[in-house]
Amino acid sequence: MNTAQKDGSSPSAAELVDRAAKIRPILEQNAEETDRLRRLANGNIQALKDTGLCRLMVPRRFGGFETDIRTYIEVMAEVGRGCGSTAWVASLINVCAWLADSFPTARSGTFGRSTPTAGRPVRWRRTAKRRRLTADGASPAGGNGRQDAGLKRFDAVVVTGAR
């Protein structure tokens, strides 16, 4: 289900939204585990891969769906109804695929060739410890400052930065 249709076309917007709706029970079932782990449950990652929802913004020439922005937003909104964290990660993966396609190597045809099912996750690290406050706004509740948006579970990574 994660590739283009047999005739080479991409799934319709309605079909992609339907795929997102169909994984909602999985995402809801894994919500507690996702919160406990402070990363996506493996079942959520597998559901995204199985449905092709990490391929929304990947160009067709690389086996993606090359959807428009409206479809992307509608699909991510539907994923978010099941799990906001999963929608966040899937959004980053898709945006990075779109961004990576603008790099010169992508134009030359090397991007995506060796990783046909790859999502493009993002990882970043903040130097200072993140501090969350309790409901009264006074006491620190913890946080280690490390962010992970799916890095360990996909085949390729895009690293970006600014000076």
Is residue 117 in a domain? yes
Q: Specify the number of domains making up the chain.
A: 1
Q: Is 7 contained in some domain? A: no
CATH number at residue 49: 1.10.540.10
Q: Point out which residues pair with 137 in neighbouring strands.
A: none
Tens of pLDDT along 4-18? 555 667 899 999 999
Decide if 138 is inside a domain: yes
Q: What is the pTM of this model?
A: 0.68
Using an 8 Å Cβ cutoff, are 46 and 104 in contact? no
User: Which domain, by its residues, includes 57?
Assistant: 13-153
pLDDT at 157: 52
Reported as a single tens digit per residue, the pLDDT across 75-90 is 999 999 999 999 999 9
Task: Mark the ranges of the chain whose per-residue pLDDT is less than 50.
Answer: 2-3, 106, 108, 113-149, 162-163
Does residue 24 form part of some domain?
Answer: yes
- Residue 8 resides in a domain: no
